[in-house]
Structure 1
């Protein structure tokens, strides 16, 4: 049956009767699972069915229907809207063959309710902490002495061969809620050190004057967000402007959120899945360098490998990568063959594009990124399609054990055997308010900011360096923290590190309302998703660089990193964004002539004031790849003749 959103029926915006029908009730009277797709109409009879998952995983694929998170609609209070969202501990059913999983949640469901706001209406949310108990996540790691493994332990459930990570099991429920992508001032952004404990509330005022968009909210507690988000503190936020209804985009049951995440689960003494969440990572070599977190069970809207019954017509999907570190390369397959142009991007992190753009190949979404896509099912009457995760260089839909892709399937679509609805055609023009930045919009008299991404240093973790351009006179090379860059035009720049640890005092300070160019230069072959608070941006260019001149021991360049060639932007990278992947989404090739480094240039606007951060959105990297930034009224920067 088609997905249905929950209508507003009480002060919170929940249809409580529907929630109570959906599953067991928590202590505050809300269901512990999001509203499922109820019933099945004979008129929508569709093909497809359950399938076995990869050996060792123990759950059946495509057995459970996709659930749609309930919807919260704010209440009007004169010139603004208000809403209360409660954080509660709940047991959540993620798969019908899996025992209920203890989770920290928003309003008892995972993902949390979709907050449906009206753009232009200022919004005040009271985030109320009613969490109980310590964090419901078992954190473990395992040693990979030889580095790369053809089939690492992270591909499988359980903790055999692992050791517990100290200090996680006893974490109490302190939280800080960040509405990711909302352009709110620093005082309302969910600063990760302004925590609230049980019984306390976080009061946040959001201007909510952005374009029609899909945002998401999640915990941002400093040092432990990789565990608290994994515990379940994730939800969606949508906002619509007056521009959107006139476009005639698929709505109602054809407007479907897809919140992607991955999980691992504990096992009992017999090896059967026991239901508890396990955060498991490999530690490489004697230095114990942490691999990126990746888990074998893919969840969509909190259901492991769900199916969705659809009509043969157009659908709109709002896809959010809410995984800790996994990057999704999504493809739509019919009978195992990629559907050419099967995904058409209409929106990005910060709103609709000016026109639909077909995806050429895979849709690459790094953690924190969103993409709204249209899918046409009219040609697939009575057939079954799959959404899969894949890597470049392997057959789409095939596993890749060494890269933690034991089970590549994400979800199944079952297209009803009925007359297709061919009357609909996507609009040729989408947002008339969106436009790509041009030469005249850029700050040509101001030097760009430089942010460098480096591999592990003395602390054995990746680093993010803030840089300044300096005169190379008197410098010797290589020198720690000094990097020379020869760009596409042949210009040689010498950059010196100014800050890289979160606690260092020097901070990028930006004039409110200004536009700046930020250059992100990745000196490694591993991609990183870079996220900015208090601002949003458009991507100007993606370029490949030869980074073999960077001395990883000295931590500086012995010869300049050098431009190799321009790279194309993905379809969802051409709009307004707040997260950008820096680094190739394809194969990572070892060796001195392997995967190139990458430089991504963005034009950033800063429409709000306050203290925020910019950081890598791989949650396992947040605590050591995060730096503060300050946006200040322009007049304050020079008051009294001082800067």
Structure 2
């Protein structure tokens, strides 16, 4: 339930015309009506509230999971139209917590799920009706001597912290990015094209991609880590005939799960006050650790429960956290349920067949997964979805690694047998999907290299765009040399790379040809993983490989000896489909020392179906400010028009 405080006008109610807008074309309207609206879950089951970890003060599994309301566009001849308002609202996230002041889409967090039909071009008016300053208190903490064994970020409140300068008083400027939508740069939500209160961002979307789950969120340059944290995020679901023919679980059996973590201030009595707190640790007082907060929200509810029937369900899982990686497992009686999660879709659509998750489902910030779960073997029982780490027993905590409370949510399975007949997952899913074959890849062109490097002189992680040097150029080098990285691949070939750009405004951007296909290689030389997102494009992951990165001199910022191939890594089920975000680096490993986690090389094949100016960047929002570079996609002929290059 959303409530509005006396100081904040309640957003106007959405009428039936807004919430249930149908398509204007008969065949598409029939498809929309047959594609069930996300419905509130029903039924009852076992389980119940449980105490959370000491110090967190709120009881788990007290509140039922909310399902975001559905917003459909209005048909306007050959296209659809929709208006979505950004408003300040007080949102209830836990029955034991006062309403939380947030910046929202249409008064709720997450915002309403925009549901569309493939092939219907869409125009959205994103109206900025926000009021007041940023409803987030930003603080940091830290001391000489390295990272804390039990960071203050594990707990609510601001005691022992310093206020981050320049955040209090931030005004409500916004730029909406529909993450994963393939649209031209002019409609992509360019992060510097901000709109203020009373202004409107007008965006046109071709909306001609496969059925899938996208999400929309704020992308204001420099401050997206605060604006998204304030609540500016919501889902976008596209349906098509191919998906409809599969007769997947729908209605109340199709449930979005938007994962996010948050922290809250304490009042004078020591109780959580409902004020959002963005709290980060500064290692040795200067290096920011990636943000992680102790309270897990699913669809805007802290540690919710969901009553389910003993049958198959479809869950659209979205990691909308600033930085946290979720390694999700379903646990019954304290033990993981083998093969509980079956992936049927990834960031950009359905797979060709369902794939069973062996172990944990790893989702970094911005990634999505479409999964099926069968509760029929658990009649009358309760299960938990938990966040895990390798080296920690599933369901166990690790305060040093920001996992004080590992529980995400509870499922309460009804004791009665589910009616309505049985569902069997289809053997085949999308006949149009296929993995790239050899002839689909570009041959003869050098790949793009993006190297991810640990903190340098500015004490922030860095994104280096690189180019390959010729053997003659490399022969004249003295190693180590700043900005030069040598890579020895599985066949023993050494490639020498030199840095061409690092900062956002370093000059010439990667320029790709419209309709082109490129190989991009992401090499992570740092200990922490980074989710990499490319605007104006989609891709498939070709390989993930472990590399020995101990030859990289972190002081000189170059290779003393080549970083070297160690072994191939297995791609996970949700990495085998069409994507727009990929994790580069090992998720959830606990290993000592800066070189304890091996480096990784992730190779992707990228397609560029739209034109314009966009960006590619790390989707850890605390890194986005400095790990971002422009990207330009242009018609190939324009580069040679008039005989000039």
Is 1:298 the equivalent of 2:300?
A: no
**Cα pair 1:47 1:414 within 8 Å, conserved:** yes
Distance 2:308 2:39 in 1: 15
SS in 2 for 1:123: strand
SS in 2 for 1:311: strand
Corresponding position of 2:548: 546
SS in 2 for 1:620: helix
Corresponding position of 1:391: 389
Corresponding position of 1:252: 251
SS in 2 for 1:283: strand
Corresponding position of 1:4: none
Corresponding position of 1:277: 276
Distance 1:425 1:145 in 2: 57
**Cα pair 1:178 1:220 within 8 Å, conserved:** yes
Corresponding position of 2:632: 630
Structure 1's unaligned 5+ residue stretches are: 1-7, 16-34
- TM-score, normalization: structure 1? 0.94
Distance 1:209 1:313 in 2: 33
Distance 2:100 2:588 in 1: 34
- What does the per-residue CA deviation read over 1:606-626, in whole Å, with 9 as the maximum and x for residues that have no partner? 000000000000000001000
Distance 2:595 2:554 in 1: 15
Q: How does 1:244-643 map to 2 (within 5 A)?
A: 244-286=243-285, 288-420=286-418, 423-471=422-470, 472-591=474-593, 594-643=596-645
Give the deviation of 1:149 after TM superposition: 2.1
- TM-score, normalization: structure 2? 0.94
Q: How does 1:20-169 map to 2 (within 5 A)?
A: 37=40, 44-169=43-168
- What does the per-residue CA deviation read over 1:304-333, in whole Å, with 9 as the maximum and x for residues that have no partner? 000000000000000000000000000000
Give the deviation of 1:9 after TM superposition: 5.8
Distance 1:592 1:235 in 2: 36
- What does the per-residue CA deviation read over 1:155-204, in whole Å, with 9 as the maximum and x for residues that have no partner? 00000000100110110000000000000000000000000000000000
Corresponding position of 2:203: 204
Bigger drift between 142-151 and 345-354 goes to 142-151
Distance 1:263 1:622 in 2: 19
Bigger drift between 419-428 and 475-484 goes to 419-428
Give the deviation of 1:144 after TM superposition: 3.6
**Cα pair 2:39 2:252 within 8 Å, conserved:** no
Structure 2's unaligned 5+ residue stretches are: 1-13, 22-37
Is 1:10 the equivalent of 2:12?
A: no
**Cα pair 1:349 1:369 within 8 Å, conserved:** yes
Q: CA RMSD in A?
A: 1.5
**Cα pair 1:331 1:396 within 8 Å, conserved:** yes
SS in 2 for 1:572: helix
Corresponding position of 1:224: 223
- What does the per-residue CA deviation read over 1:91-147, in whole Å, with 9 as the maximum and x for residues that have no partner? 000000000000000000000000000111000000000000000000000014222
**Cα pair 2:259 2:319 within 8 Å, conserved:** yes
Give the deviation of 1:590 after TM superposition: 2.9
Bigger drift between 464-473 and 299-308 goes to 464-473
- What does the per-residue CA deviation read over 1:280-308, in whole Å, with 9 as the maximum and x for residues that have no partner? 0000015x100110000000000000000
- What does the per-residue CA deviation read over 1:424-451, in whole Å, with 9 as the maximum and x for residues that have no partner? 1000000011100010000011110000
Is 1:178 the equivalent of 2:180?
A: no
Give the deviation of 1:36 after TM superposition: 9.9
Given the superposition, is the C-alpha separation of residues 432 and 36 from structure 1 closer, same or farther in structure 2, using an over 3 Å criterion? closer
SS in 2 for 1:458: coil
**Cα pair 1:526 1:588 within 8 Å, conserved:** no
Distance 2:147 2:331 in 1: 30
**Cα pair 1:381 1:420 within 8 Å, conserved:** no
Distance 2:458 2:610 in 1: 34
**Cα pair 1:260 1:301 within 8 Å, conserved:** yes
How many residue pairs match? The answer is 613
SS in 2 for 1:187: helix
Distance 2:518 2:577 in 1: 17
Give the deviation of 1:241 after TM superposition: 1.2
**Cα pair 1:452 1:467 within 8 Å, conserved:** yes
**Cα pair 2:331 2:385 within 8 Å, conserved:** yes
SS in 2 for 1:417: strand
Give the deviation of 1:586 after TM superposition: 3.2
Corresponding position of 1:241: 240
Distance 1:405 1:443 in 2: 42
Give the deviation of 1:594 after TM superposition: 1.7
Distance 2:81 2:198 in 1: 20
